[in-house]
Amino acid sequence: MITGLCLSLLFAACSKDKGPQDSNLFIGTYKGPISYSSDDDNITIGDGSITVSNVDDIYNFAFSDGIPNINNIRFESENDEYYINIGASGTSYIRINKDVLKILYISNGKTWKANCTR
């Protein structure tokens, strides 16, 4: 009985240190307002979706409604609540946890925005 309790406590303590690459916690579909703008396109969807997938520690974000995907993103812990993409700034970021996905991502003159939940 005590051995089982010790193993449970050890597992709980170790699992807290895992990063997003160690878990499928973020995998799935988030829904909410999404948008994309570039020189050629301006798409705003009030009830869109983003499907998050990963291979090892690289994440991909597949947008609905013809919005181009964001691929090859890596994350680091921002705080106890969110993970944020490596290389993020105050004006360009992808924040994620098990319930919320927030995007203001700017790359090569293109802008993706999302405020989604699941």
Per-residue pLDDT tens for 83-108? Answer: 999 999 988 999 999 999 999 999 99
- In a domain, residue 77? The reply is yes
- Residue with the larger pLDDT of the pair 21 and 37: 37
Q: Using a pLDDT cut of 70, give the percent of the chain over it.
A: 81
CB-CB neighbours of 114 under 10 Å: 26
pLDDT band at 24 (very low <50, low <70, confident <90, very high): confident
CA-CA distance, 111 to 105, in Å (whole number)? 6
- In a domain, residue 10? The reply is no
What predicted TM-score, i.e. pTM, was given to this entire model? 0.80
- In a domain, residue 34? The reply is yes
Structural domain tally of the chain? 1
For β-strands 110-117 and 28-37, DSSP reports them as antiparallel
- In a domain, residue 83? The reply is yes
Average pLDDT over residues 39-65: 96
- In a domain, residue 8? The reply is no
CA-CA distance, 92 to 107, in Å (whole number)? 8
Domain coverage including residue 101? 20-117
